[in-house]
């Protein structure tokens, strides 16, 4: 049995389905991200696991124990909120030790555990400081230490980095993953940030309209999306109308042999080709187009090309040779291995 099992979990509000019967197995020590846009059900799922939202139907089983009748305070879970939720009148040490105090842990042991938790997050020197005198990143570390100090069986993170600026968010991602690996703590992160989910997770769970669209390692979900939604949500992607006949896929006058590739495999007729911008190159022949915009992004150039099959985005590494100018006519090429073939109904936006 898996460490955490979610079986046909459902939450409805009147006639509105927030979470529509999802199932998921999570192994001990995994870092899982629930990823999706606002309203997809990811936060509601996390809150049902935590016990803050009542389950309409389905089961949540943690280490063989059904959590249905277990109140939130008895589930032994650590939770870090987007807002940090620190007590402003308490010092860092008092904030971190609050949960232990509520559990009637003795003073000596409480002090020892608080000191260990603060050392883990690099805040030993700030034990007597108040939250108002700390940066956002430091406050987030306090919130993390408070969740870790009770030695939870499962750590739940509800968009914990969304209030930080870009540079600090990148730094905290690395620290968060490092702490999770050192503790071996099973962790579930809720986020709408694709890069954050891919940087931190062992597996991503892509959600849309209350259901799971795809589960897998970040690189697999990105490189081989199972639907148009996953392809478009996990980074920018090009989607072009085409036709399939046997093993041949055609977009305008360009043809590729795909041999069973993609979720649209085997279906004859209209399809959609999905290809990432970094997989598209400029070359002789290929799909014809005109460069409408080019933008320097430091390590790469971004191109917006109006092609005969529709708008195509291209990412080219900086220093990769001569690149076309705005207004220049170009050929767009990519290999069959670099594209996904989706059935037309799968490609329709949901």
- pLDDT at site 350: 40
- Helix or strand holding residue 321 (H, E): none
User: What's the chain's length in residues?
Assistant: 350
Spatial contact of 290 and 256, defined as CB atoms under 8 Å apart: no
- pLDDT at site 81: 87
Q: Which long-range contacts (CB under 8 A, 24 or more apart) does 256-260 make?
A: 256/335, 256/336, 256/339, 257/336, 258/336, 258/341
The neighbour count for residue 296, using CB atoms within 10 Å, is 9
CA angle 231, 234, 236 (to 5 degrees): 75
pLDDT by residue for the chain (350 residues), tens digit each?
799 999 999 999 998 999 999 999 999 999 999 999 999 999 999 999 999 999 999 999 999 999 998 999 899 999 998 887 899 999 999 999 999 998 999 999 999 999 999 999 999 999 999 999 998 889 989 999 999 999 999 999 999 888 788 888 888 898 899 999 999 999 999 999 999 999 999 999 999 999 999 999 999 999 888 888 898 898 889 999 999 998 899 999 999 998 765 545 455 789 889 999 999 999 988 999 999 999 999 999 999 999 999 999 999 998 877 899 999 999 999 999 999 998 775 544 44
Domain residue limits, the chain: 4-223, 229-347
In angstroms, the CA 136 to CA 141 distance is 9
Strands 254-257 and 248-251: antiparallel
Three-state DSSP state, 147: helix
4-223 under CATH 3.40.50.300, yes or no: yes
Work out the angle between the directed axes of helices 136-148 and 107-120 (0-180°, nearest 10): 130
Q: Which residues pair with 281 in a beta bridge?
A: 333
- pLDDT at site 267: 56
- pLDDT at site 258: 87
* 3-class DSSP string for 41-65: CHHHHHHHHHCCCCCCEEEEEECCE
- pLDDT at site 60: 97
Nearest CA-CA partner of 47 in 158, 206, 201: 158
What is 229-347's CATH number, 1.10.260.40, 2.40.50.140, 3.40.50.2030, 2.40.320.10?
A: 2.40.50.140
Helices first, then strands: H and E counts in the chain: 9, 19
């Amino acid at each position: 049995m898996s460490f955490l099992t979610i079986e046909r979990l459902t939450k409805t509000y009147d006639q509105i389905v927030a979470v529509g019967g999802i199932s998921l197995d999570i192994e001990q020590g995994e870092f899982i991200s629930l990823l999706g846009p606002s309203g997809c059900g990811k936060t509601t799922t996390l809150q049902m696991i935590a016990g803050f939202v009542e389950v309409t139907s389905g089961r949540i089983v943690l280490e063989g124990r059904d959590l249905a009748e277990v109140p939130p305070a008895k589930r032994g879970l650590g939770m870090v909120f987007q807002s940090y939720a620190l007590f402003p009148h308490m010092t860092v040490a008092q904030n971190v030790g609050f949960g232990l105090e509520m559990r009637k842990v003795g003073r000596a042991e409480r002090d020892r555990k608080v000191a260990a938790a603060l050392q883990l997050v690099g805040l030993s020197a700030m034990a007597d400081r108040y939250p108002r005198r700390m940066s956002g990143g430091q406050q987030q570390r306090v919130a993390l230490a408070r969740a870790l100090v009770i030695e939870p069986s499962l750590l739940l993170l509800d968009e914990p980095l969304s209030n930080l600026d870009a540079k600090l968010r990148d730094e905290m991602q690395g620290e968060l993953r490092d702490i999770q690996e050192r503790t071996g703590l099973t962790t579930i992160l809720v986020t709408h940030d694709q890069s954050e989910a891919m940087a931190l997770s062992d597996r991503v769970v892509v959600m849309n309209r209350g259901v799971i669209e795809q589960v897998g390692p970040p690189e697999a979900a990105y490189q081989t999306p199972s639907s148009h939604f996953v392809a478009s949500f996990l980074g920018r992607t090009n989607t072009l109308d085409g036709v399939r006949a046997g093993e041949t896929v055609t977009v305008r006058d360009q043809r590729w042999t795909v041999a069973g590739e993609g979720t649209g495999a085997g279906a004859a007729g209209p399809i959609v080709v999905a290809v990432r911008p970094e997989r598209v190159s400029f070359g002789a022949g290929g799909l014809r187009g005109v460069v409408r915009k080019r933008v320097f992004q430091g390590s790469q150039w971004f191109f917006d090309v109006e092609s005969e099959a529709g708008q195509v985005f291209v990412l080219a590494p900086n220093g990769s040779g001569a690149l076309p100018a705005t207004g220049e006519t170009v050929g767009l090429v990519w290999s069959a291995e670099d594209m996904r073939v989706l059935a037309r109904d799968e490609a329709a936006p949901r």
